[in-house]
Structure formats: C-alpha cells, structure tokens
Structure 1
Amino acid sequence: MFFISRLRARENGFYRTFFSKPLSFFTTSVFHLKKTHDHVLDPRVEEDALEEEDRRRSVTDRAYWRRRIHNLCTLRKSPDEALRIIDGLCLRGYRPDSLNLSSVIHSLCDAGRFEEAHRRCLLFVASGFVPDERTCNVIIARLLDSGDPVSTLRVVHRLIGVKREFVPSLTNYNRLINQMCLMCRVRDAHKLVFEMRSRGHRPNVVTYTTLIGGYCEIREIEVAHKLFDEMRACGVRPNCLTLSVLIGGFLKRRDLEVGRKMMEELWGEMKDETDASVKSAAFANLIDSLCREGYFNDVFEIAEDMPQCESVNVEFAYGHMMDSLCRYKRNHGAARIVYIMKCKGLKPISTSYNAIIHGLCKDDGCMRGYQLLEEGSEFGFFPSEYTYKLLVESLCKEHDTGKARNVLELMLRKEGTDRNRIYNIYLRALCVVDNPTEILNVLVSMLQGDCRPDEYTLNTVIDGFCKMGRVDDAMKVLGDMMTGKFCAPDAVTLTTVMCGLLTQGRAEEALDVLNRVMPENGFKPSVVAYNAVMRGLFKLRKGDEAMRVFDQMSKAGVIADNTTYAIIIDGLCVTGQVDTAKRFWDDVIWPSGRHDAYVYSAFLKGLCRFGSLSDACHFLYELADSGAVPNVVCYNIVIDECSRSGLRREAYQIIEEMRKNGQAPDAVTWRILDKLHDSRALAVEGEDINPDSYFKDVQRQALHTESITNEESDFKLIKPKERGYYVTAAFHHITPQRFLINLPRPPCP
C-alpha cells in the first residue's frame, strides 16, 4: 500500500519520485510527458489526452485512478478536479481507498481550505468509507494544522463511532489538548485526558505539562498544582519545563514567594535533566513569565548569579533575556544585560544587540542607542538597515547631525551594503533639519567616494530643500541635472520642484515648469502633476488659474481621478465659490462616476464651513438615497457642525441615519457628542429629558427605536423602548427646493 507523506512536494520533491517508473498508456505516458526546447506540449492538448485516457480506463483499474487522483492533488494542486473524478467514479461503482482520501485532504489543507477538508472527511466517513488506522491518524494530524480543534475533534469522534477499534495516537491527543487550552477550553481538554485513558493511552509528561499550562492561563492554580501532584502519583516524572510552567502560574497569581521557592527547585531539576532542549525551553518560559508579570529585578538577579550554572547555554540564556525584555518594552533593562555580559567577558549576540538599539530608538532613547552602537563597533557590530534608518532619523530629530554622520560612516564600512541606499536614508533623515550645508556635503562625499547620486538621491535632496523653504537651492540642483552634471531629472523631480515653487507663492514659475519644462524634457504631465499644481494654486487662492489647469488637463486627455475632484471641491469651497462647487458636482463629478468618501467629505466640509448645515444634511441624505456610500467621516463632519451650533436633536437624528445606512459611530463620533453635551443647554419648548441618560442610551446604539413623523409641525418623535420617554426633535424648515444639486433618486416602490 502506498502512503502519502505530509511532506510538501515543493520542499523535497517527494511526489516527483513517488513512482519508480513512468506510467505509460501504450508507449507514451501522459503523466510523464517530456518537454524539450524544440517542442512544448499545449496544455489543452494534454488535457484532451488525459480526458481521452480517463474514458478508456476501466473503473477496476485502481492503480491508474490512484495515480491520476494523486497527480491532480500534488502536482497540479487541483483538489476540485480530483473530487470531480472521484464523484464520477463512485457513480460507476468505484470505492475510494485510503490513498484517495489522503491525497484529497492533503491537497485541501495545502490550499488553506481546512473547513472543506473537515467536511469532506466527514462525508467520506458518512458514505461508509473508513480508512485504515494509520491513514486516520495522518489525516487527523493534517486537520490539526487548521488550529480548529473543535472541528477536528468532531472528525475524531465520527471515526471512533464507525470504527470502534480505532485509537488516535498519543501525539494527536496531545495536540488536541494543546489547542483546546489555547482556546481557554481547559475543562474540555481535561475531558480528553479521561477519554484517552479509556482508550488505552497513558498520559505522558507532554500531556500533563500542556494541561497544567492551560489551568495556569485561566488562573486556576490549585487545579494545576493538583495535576502536578497527580502526575507524580501516576509515575510520570515532571521535567523542568513542567515545573517552569507551574511557576508561571504562581507568578500570574502574584504569589512571588511560592514562585521563588519553586525556582530554587527548578535549578536543581535542570541539573538532573538530560535533554538540553527541555532545559532551554524551561529557562525561556521562566524568563518570559517573569517579564510578562513585571518581575524584572528577578531577571537581573538571574543574569548576575546564573543559578542554572551550565544547564543552559550562556549565550542562549543572555540572548533570551534581552529578547524578552525588549518584547515587553524594557529596552534599557536589556541594555543592562549587555553590561552584565561585558563584565563577565561575554559578547552579546548581534540580533539581540540590534533589537535593543532598535527598541531604544522607538522609545525616544536614541542617545543611549547611539552609545550602544559605539560600544558594539568594538566587537564588529553593524546595525540592520531598518535600525540604522530609525537611529539616524531619531538623531536628526534631536538636531545632532554629528552623531548621525558618524552612524552613516559606520554603515558605509559594512560589507555588502548598497551605498546609494545608505546615503539616501541619511539624506531623507536630514530633511527634518534645516541644514542645507550638510546635504551638500553628503553629495560631495558621494562624488568623492565614487558613489554617483541616482535619481532617488537627487529627488530626496530637492524635496529636502523645498521643505526647508530653500527653493532656489532646489532649482540649482535641478539646473545641474538638466545640464548633465548629474543624472537627468524625471517626472518626480519636476513635480517636486513645482510643489516647492507653489509653496513659496511662485505660481508663474510652477506653471512654466508644467507647460514648458516638462514637455521640453519629454515628459507628459500626469494626473499626479496636475493634482499637485491645482492643490498649490487653490492654497494660494488662485481658483481661476486652478480651473484653467483642470481644463488644460482635460484637453490633454489626462483622466481626472478621485483626488482631482476632492482637490477642486475643497479648493472652490475654501475660496468661497460654493455655488461653483455645486455646479461642478452636477456637471462633472456625478456624471463621471469618479467620486468617493474623500470627495463627499470635502464637499460637506465646505458647506458646513459657510454655515449651510441644512444643505450639508440634504446632500448627505441624497448620497445615501442615490446608492453612494458615505463613510463615518462624512457623518462626523455634519455631526460636528451640529455640535458647534448646539443642535443636539439634529445630531442624534444624523446618528440614526448613519446607523440605518450601515455605518457605526466611532470614537470621534462619541467625542463630538460628549462635547455637544458639555455645551449650552437646549432651549426647545416641550423637551422633558435627562440629557445624560439619553446620551448613554445613544452610546449603547439604541438598537430598538420607533419613529413617528408629524407632517403638520415638522417634528419627529423618537421613543427609546427601554426608557419609555419621548423626545421632541425639531428640524430646520427647508425651502421646497430640496437642494441645488440634483442627484438622481431611485424609483419609488
């Protein structure tokens, strides 16, 4: 009988050599067709040949169908095709065997279709086919890779129900228990221990350690301690990992005294343990438990005294201490471990040392990180590229370019580094510092070091000058690029220069770059370039010039995108041209179909900015009625305007509409409402409500509401069912003309 290993085909080529010789139909095998440079078989021809061979083969040719299904599942990764063939064969009297089931389940699991794999396995068993015991255990082990122990346990119980003599392996039981404990279903895991005993298995140290860890995780330390005593009574000797897991439970309960006593027992147990991997796992688990519960001083004591003696590799022990401290954001504590190692004449592992510097930079400890880097250079340490990036950026934010330059020079000495990339990272960090001299010095250093600046380098320099407000320096670099001193500029270079010019109010020069310089250098302005120019012109209050640029873009055949329309709507509203923005929406944006939440929010923000709250509300309602999907940001803009105007009822009405349209209030929404309730009290006739109580009801999302509309008075009554009181909410009286923007509404039912 053939047995399919769990090893993947791509990893070891097992399935390629599964059969000792090629299978042939007459004289040529369709499974082992040779493909040479002179002749490549058309896949369609191959498929036709396989289908023809399938029709020719008899159902009784089990060897052929096994290989056929096996190849579909392993080589072609097509479990659906294999299942189709199996279904067709079953209609002709074929009975699947263990190899067929194993091939299909493995293929489905390789594709990540674990749910279907569980379902298919149950269907196979329900149809009366039960594989042999070895295949059953292989399939269970494969299904356990899904991390869904409940579904896998259902398969196990179904197999046991139809095949009483089947006993899952001890390894599979232990994996099931572990996954149940990870889901905090520890009592169900404990029931599996009784089940495995009833089926003839004896729980081993792995079983007990896993179960003890599960009970410690849910803080039932007494039960865990009873299990610890039980395993000794049953003749199962606890190892040092079991003891370490139990110590973690006492530390979780903050019982440090008992935990320290058991630690002394652990050190003696580790001396008697023969398995080095178990000792390392026990030590690592103990350090993780101490750091997780905040007992960092105990970690430092272990680092200084090393009570485990020679039981654990010294480099591994110190390395794990540093890693665990960094994981729990104690980077300075990890640096203290480095100091302890140096006092003992030891050198830290590069990966752990790099993690400490990396964490210090993220926690605003770049100076300490730089100090560690200098000390690490003595034993040949070089940081990773990402850590280098964080360090130089942090040092530049501290305006200490001297130290940042030292880090750059250190990285340039590292073998195998991309020097251009290292320089580019440093130049990008310098953009936050108003130090153009240093930027130019870096360019000179690159040229002197035979490292010619590329387009990205020069674009970074130009962008840095523009952000510093030194557009003239950026123009000089651009001039050098255009005269051939450096590489030629690209579209990004010219777009960056235009943005810098517009930031300085030099709109005519920016338009000259757009209309003359870009075409002369063979660049057709893209939608990104046009968007940048229009954004800059609107910021300069030059709305007419921006609209002319838009017309120019349309004539040039460049298609506007959502960003274009958001810029135009926002710019028109900022410059006070709200009516023009409405017409632009009607005539251009809505017919184009290119609009999203950014465009909606720009329009709503502009309407609210000029006091047109009623128009903003109706625009929001029209969007929802027309099938558009405004997001929570759009609703928050209008709710915030209601808050500024002190209109509590209208704000809650918009929240109700928001929830009806499938949007849930977020943290910003609740902050706006909180600010609304802190504002002036309502002065609306007929109101009899406790605002705090109503706010709490809305924050619970008021899942059940009844609405009654009184058409004569334009009032809306909202009755929360749980409280039993009414709120009278008045709307703004709006003219019959719904809104200047005429959105097509869906037909009435």
Structure 2
Amino acid sequence: MAAALDVVDRMRKEGVEIDVMGYNSLVAGFCRAGQVDAAWAIVETMKVDGLHPNVVTYTTFIGEYCTRKDIQEAFNFALVDGLGRDGRFLEAYALFREMVKIGVVPNHVTYCTLIDSLAKAQRGNVSLALLGEMVSRGVAMDLVVHTALMDWFGKQGKIDEANTIFQHALLNNLTPNHVTYTVLIDAHCKTGYIDRAEQVLSHMEEKSGQEAALDVYDDMSRQGVEMNSFVVDSLVNGLIKNGKMEEAESLFKDMSSRGMLLDHVNYTTLIDGLFKTGNMPAAFRVGQELMERNLLPDAAVYNVFINCLYMLGKFKEAKSFVAEMRNSGLEPDQVTYNTMITAHCREGKTHKALKLLDEMNRRSIQPNLITYTILVAGLLKAGDVEKAKYLLNGMTSAGFTPTFMTHRRLLQACSESRRVDVVLEIHEWMMNSGLHADLLVYNTLVHVLCYHGMTRKATVVLDEMSKRGIAPDSITFNALILGHCKSGHIDNAFGIYAQMLQQGLSPNIATFNTLLGGLESAGRIGEADTVLSEMKNVGLEPNNLTYDILVSGFAKKSNKVEAVRLYCEMLNIYEVEGCITLLMSLHPTLTVASMAALAELNVVNHESTFGDVADG
C-alpha cells in the first residue's frame, strides 16, 4: 500500500498531472501484480484529488477477483463499496448489466443493494425491472428492498402499489420496522387516506376509520414501533387535512407528554392548522409552548403567524409579527413578502403591494414568479391594466417564464375586474411570450368570456383551440352552453349541445341542468320533456337541482299541478296523511281547483322548492 502512495507522490513531484485514465493505469498495474490493497489505496487517493472512479476502475478490480475465483465477491465489492456508495447509481447499473453478460449470477446482496440505491435516487422504474428479474431468479427480497420500493411508490402517489409491496413483505414473514411504517404513514396521510393508513398498521384488519389517524398512532405505540417527529408530522397533517383538529391537538399533546422532542416542523404544522380553523388563542398557546421549550421561532413559524393573521384581516397584528421577526434577528424572506403582497392585493391596496416589491429589491430579496403573478393579478383585478402590463414586461425581463398556472390566474383576475374586456389582450400577451396554452387555460378563458356574455368571442377561442390541436372537452362545451343560456340565446345553446355530441363527447348532469335552466329563463319550460328524455337515454337521473329548475319553471307558467307532481317525484314520498291540509295552511294561495288536482298526490312541504309552487 505504501508503495502505491510512493508512486503517486513521485509522479506529483515530477509535475505529472494524473487524470482518471492515469489512475486507472496505476490500478491495473497493481492488480496485475496481485497487490489489490495497494490498488484500493490508489482509488482512495483518486477520490481525495476530486476524481471519481469509473466503470473501468471497478471492472479492473473485478478482473483481479475473478482471477482469484471469487467472482461474486468482486461484483458485490464494486457495487457496494464502489459506485453505489458514491451515489453513482446509473454507472452501478451499467456495471451490473456488464457482469450479467459475462455470466456472473447476481446474488441477494447485489440485487438488494442496487434496487435500494436506485429507488432512493427516484429511479424506481429501473428498480421494478430489477425486482422482476430478482423474483424470476428466485432470489429473496429483504425488508430494505420492500421499504425502498414502498417509499418510491408513495412519492409517486401510487398508494395501491405501495400497499401491495407491504403485503408482499408480510407474506414473506418480514417484520416491518419503524422506517417501513413511517414511509407508509407519510404516503397515506399526504394523500388523505387516513383509513388506509390504519389498515396498514392493523395488518389488513378492517376498522371503522372514524379516528383512523389516532388508531394508527395507538397501534404503533402498542407494537413498540419507534416514534419520530416525521411520523408525528405526517399524522397531525393528515388529521388537519381531514378536519379532525381536536384529534390532531390530542395526538400532539400526547406525544409531548411522552417526552418526545418535537421540532419546528411539528409546531408549525399544528399552529397553521389551528389558525386555519379560526382557533387563534390555541395557535398562540402552541407558539408560546414552542418558545418555552427553547425552540426559538424560525422564519417558517413567523410566516405561518403572519399569513394567518393577514388572512383573518388582522393587518396591525401581522405587521407587529414582521417587526418582531426582524427584532429577533430574522429577515423576512420571499414567503413573508409574498404573504404581505397577497394580503394587500386582496384588499385592493395595490399601491402598498408595489411598495413592498420595491422594498424587496432594496433589501436584495429576489422576487419570484409567485410574487409577480400575485401583483399582476392584483393590478388586473383593480382595473389598473397599464401597470399590470408594465409589470408583466418586468417579469419577463427578470428571466421568469409564465406558467400555465400564471396564465389561468391572470385570466381569472380579469374576470374579477372592472376591465374584463382586456382578457383576450392578456391571453394574447401570454401566448406571444412563448407560452403554449393547455386545455385548462382555454377552459378558463372560455368560461370567463361566457360568464360575461361574450359568447361570440368564446366561439372564436374554440376555433383557435382547434387550430392548435387542442380538443375541447365537456367542460369547454358546458361553459359555452351556459354562456348562451345566460345571454338568452337558448337556440344557440342547443346548437352547441349538438356540436358537443357530434364530437363524441358525453354530456353530464351539469350539461342538462344548464339547458333546462336556459329553457326556464326563456319561459320555454314546456320543452323540458325533450331534454329529460335525452338525459335518461344517456343513463342520467335528475338530481335536486334538476327538479328545482323544473318546479320553478312550471310554477312560473302557472302549471301548479305539474309543478307539485314533479315536487312529489323529487321527494319520492307516498301515502302521507293530512298533506293537503298542511299545504293549504302553509300556502293558502293554492286554488281549490289545484288542491283537487293534487288530492291523489299525497305531498309534503319542502320549503325552498315548494315556495316556487305556491307563488307561481
């Protein structure tokens, strides 16, 4: 080994610059001489010099091990102690394939090392291919491989696949550890599947799931699974998202009382949830507890308080927190400023929002795309189109490219403003900036135009979509139908409906309710039978809104008998004694003739809809 280092030192003293190829030559020389330890010393020196061994380097070692008849050790040594450990997973995979080609049969260690490494590097598809190969060769999977694959599937949002891997581990008598549980709990909670998180921990035992997240916690405690702040944050987050704030607080307090060292993330999650449910006193109490535990609030904690106070309209209190943040030695960051800018734009105080942008620049805090989107949307909503355009140009000059989300947000802002006429101008600017609109953007544009009665312009947009190869969907056509109905162009609405069918799109209940609403508004409710017939032909049943439209329409046409018949059909109530007397007492405006016609219908009162019947 010393000889190897001496060689490198002599070369350096003579001014020879050694690259990867040079090191590989040295490695090859020592391996040929049978001095493997010296060759590995060269590799370590190579790393110190900032160079990375490559496949050639490790193949050289493999050749030497093969000479010694220890092929498998050579293979594993290169993968485990070499490329895999250095985080160079794709090179490790390439080496793996080379060795398989020359007849080396990978063993359990080889497969598990490579699958685990690739999954952690988010190369899960390659891991899955290796898994299939591993199973076909009859090589057993260990818990590390199962957990790595569960983690990858969870991060991809593929919860069913993650659960399948978990069940496979159980079937192979592998005992999940706290890492396995943490991975699955986090995946389920983040996707809102609290009930399924509980099922994982109860080994597929079906439960009611009413207190799912707390049961998960209890199961883990009973099974002696080690808890950590990551698990707690996943559970608390899941409970909050599912509206179970009391359970989240209870779990948090329980973990704290057990002496677990909760961190800033745990506290921030709970404080944010408490604020969003309007429980300010509890949020401040948790913040006080954080400080009592000598966990000084960080920027994330302050940002939660500032954001929630602004959302509650408490500007004075929010500003005091910004001042306190600075006094504690922390500077407001992008998140802080974006929060303040959002609050001022929401209140229509765009001049203050623009001052904050100037302040960001003075303090060398780089605005991001979110900052510009908030400001431009705020200016458009306030009707200050020229300033909005100026800022849009500033955004592109700063190197920011608008996204589809930016595009949609600005179109929506135009809809909410006093200058909805500029919506197409903003759309054109976005398209000219190099952004290619997707279906969601076009649907937003069509909706905005139709909502404001600009159906002709919306039809032009439909043609633009066709030219760009973007096929409209049922949402696009529903918006157009609604626009024509709102404008009183009911025949045009039916024309759009026919076009929708010609393109092979299936109407939904919203389509039919919109058409019925158009007929009702136009005083043509008598034509509703055709719409109802088509609705039933496509397998749709009327819902409450359908009946409300029909009842209201027939009542306005003074057809009270049909209105009440439909009302009774909606409620599906029969043989109700005394209902006629009840109707007369509640709505004496019904005529005797109407009551006689209703005598066989047995109806009961339903205030919102029945009011239309009686007043018609």
Q: Which residue of 1 aligns with 2:610?
A: none
Choose from 219, 226, 229 the match for 1:351.
Answer: 219
Q: Which runs of 5+ in 2 are unaligned?
A: 1-27, 84-91, 116-124, 143-163, 165-172, 174-197, 224-230, 541-616
Q: Which residue of 1 aligns with 2:499?
A: 653
Matched, 1:533 2:549: no
Matched, 1:112 2:128: yes
Choose from 581, 603, 615 the match for 2:445.
Answer: 603
Choose from 334, 356, 376 the match for 1:491.
Answer: 334
Q: Which residue of 2 aligns with 1:548?
A: 390
Deviation of 1:592 (Å): 1.1
Deviation of 1:514 (Å): 1.4
Contact 1:471 1:501 in 2 (8 A): no
Contact 2:310 2:318 in 1 (8 A): yes
1:611-650 residue pairs with structure 2 within 5 A?
A: 611-628=453-470, 633-641=475-483, 646=490, 647-650=493-496
Deviation of 1:457 (Å): 0.8
1:9-28 residue pairs with structure 2 within 5 A?
A: 26-28=32-34
The 3 A distance-change label for structure 1 pair 697 and 591 is farther
The 3 A distance-change label for structure 1 pair 690 and 116 is same
Contact 1:535 1:571 in 2 (8 A): yes
Matched residues in 2 for 1:464 and 1:354: separation?
A: 37
Deviation of 1:528 (Å): 0.8
Matched residues in 2 for 1:103 and 1:324: separation?
A: 28
Matched residues in 2 for 1:406 and 1:113: separation?
A: 44
Decide which moves more: 407-416 or 471-480: 407-416
> Structure 2-normalised TM-score?
0.53
Based on CA coordinates, which of the two structures has the bigger radius of gyration? 1
Choose from 416, 422, 429 the match for 2:273.
Answer: 429
Matched, 1:502 2:348: no
Deviation of 1:454 (Å): 0.9
Matched, 1:671 2:514: no
Secondary structure at 2:46's aligned position in 1?
A: coil
Aligned identity (percent) is 15
Amino acid corresponding to residue 494 of structure 2 in structure 1: R
Matched, 1:43 2:54: yes
Secondary structure at 1:37's aligned position in 2?
A: helix
Q: Which residue of 2 aligns with 1:572?
A: 414
Deviation of 1:427 (Å): 1.4
Amino acid corresponding to residue 624 of structure 1 in structure 2: S
Matched, 1:417 2:433: no
Matched residues in 1 for 2:284 and 2:251: separation?
A: 18
Contact 2:345 2:375 in 1 (8 A): yes
Amino acid corresponding to residue 489 of structure 1 in structure 2: P
Amino acid corresponding to residue 434 of structure 2 in structure 1: S
Contact 1:561 1:594 in 2 (8 A): no
Matched residues in 2 for 1:519 and 1:78: separation?
A: 48
Deviation of 1:546 (Å): 2.9
Matched residues in 1 for 2:106 and 2:286: separation?
A: 66
The 3 A distance-change label for structure 1 pair 437 and 569 is same
Q: CA-to-partner distance for each residue in 1:578-619, whole Å, 9 max, x for gaps? A: 553333433442451343334322211122123233432332
Matched residues in 1 for 2:264 and 2:302: separation?
A: 11
1:304-319 residue pairs with structure 2 within 5 A?
A: none
Q: CA-to-partner distance for each residue in 1:58-83, whole Å, 9 max, x for gaps? A: xxx99799999999999944488449
Amino acid corresponding to residue 352 of structure 2 in structure 1: E
Deviation of 1:328 (Å): 3.3
Secondary structure at 2:508's aligned position in 1?
A: helix
Matched residues in 1 for 2:355 and 2:479: separation?
A: 38
Contact 1:420 1:457 in 2 (8 A): yes
RMSD: 5.5
Amino acid corresponding to residue 310 of structure 2 in structure 1: C
Matched residues in 2 for 1:406 and 1:415: separation?
A: 15
Secondary structure at 2:437's aligned position in 1?
A: coil
Deviation of 1:510 (Å): 1.8
Matched residues in 2 for 1:322 and 1:558: separation?
A: 45
Matched residues in 2 for 1:72 and 1:324: separation?
A: 38
Contact 2:380 2:388 in 1 (8 A): yes
Q: Which residue of 1 aligns with 2:403?
A: 561
Matched residues in 2 for 1:618 and 1:85: separation?
A: 60
Matched residues in 2 for 1:437 and 1:555: separation?
A: 45
Q: CA-to-partner distance for each residue in 1:185-228, whole Å, 9 max, x for gaps? A: xxxxxxxxxxxxxxxxxxxxxxxxxxxxxxxxxxxxxxxxxxxx
Q: Which residue of 2 aligns with 1:327?
A: 206
The 3 A distance-change label for structure 1 pair 414 and 391 is farther
Aligned residue-pair number: 418
Amino acid corresponding to residue 423 of structure 2 in structure 1: A
Matched residues in 2 for 1:333 and 1:544: separation?
A: 53
Secondary structure at 2:330's aligned position in 1?
A: coil
The 3 A distance-change label for structure 1 pair 333 and 110 is closer
Contact 1:604 1:637 in 2 (8 A): yes
Amino acid corresponding to residue 613 of structure 1 in structure 2: T
Matched residues in 1 for 2:199 and 2:419: separation?
A: 63
Matched, 1:461 2:305: yes
Amino acid corresponding to residue 351 of structure 1 in structure 2: D
Q: Greater helix percent: which structure? A: 2
The 3 A distance-change label for structure 1 pair 33 and 326 is same
Q: Which residue of 1 aligns with 2:151?
A: none
The 3 A distance-change label for structure 1 pair 493 and 631 is farther
Amino acid corresponding to residue 463 of structure 1 in structure 2: N
Matched residues in 1 for 2:73 and 2:213: separation?
A: 57
Amino acid corresponding to residue 652 of structure 1 in structure 2: A
Deviation of 1:651 (Å): 1.7
The 3 A distance-change label for structure 1 pair 649 and 683 is farther
The 3 A distance-change label for structure 1 pair 42 and 424 is closer
Deviation of 1:467 (Å): 1.4
Matched residues in 2 for 1:105 and 1:350: separation?
A: 35
Matched residues in 2 for 1:561 and 1:604: separation?
A: 18
The 3 A distance-change label for structure 1 pair 330 and 320 is closer
1:197-276 residue pairs with structure 2 within 5 A?
A: none
The 3 A distance-change label for structure 1 pair 28 and 557 is same
Amino acid corresponding to residue 569 of structure 1 in structure 2: L
1:710-729 residue pairs with structure 2 within 5 A?
A: none
Decide which moves more: 436-445 or 562-571: 436-445
Q: Which residue of 2 aligns with 1:703?
A: none
Secondary structure at 2:44's aligned position in 1?
A: coil
The 3 A distance-change label for structure 1 pair 353 and 643 is farther
Secondary structure at 1:429's aligned position in 2?
A: helix
Matched residues in 2 for 1:103 and 1:524: separation?
A: 48
Matched residues in 2 for 1:428 and 1:560: separation?
A: 29
Matched residues in 2 for 1:559 and 1:43: separation?
A: 38
The 3 A distance-change label for structure 1 pair 114 and 546 is same
Amino acid corresponding to residue 259 of structure 2 in structure 1: E
The 3 A distance-change label for structure 1 pair 328 and 116 is closer
Matched residues in 2 for 1:429 and 1:614: separation?
A: 45
The 3 A distance-change label for structure 1 pair 420 and 111 is closer
Deviation of 1:576 (Å): 5.6
Matched residues in 1 for 2:276 and 2:77: separation?
A: 59
Contact 1:396 1:433 in 2 (8 A): no
Deviation of 1:624 (Å): 3.1
The 3 A distance-change label for structure 1 pair 66 and 80 is closer
Matched, 1:479 2:486: no
> Structure 1-normalised TM-score?
0.45
Q: Which residue of 1 aligns with 2:580?
A: none
Matched residues in 1 for 2:470 and 2:106: separation?
A: 50
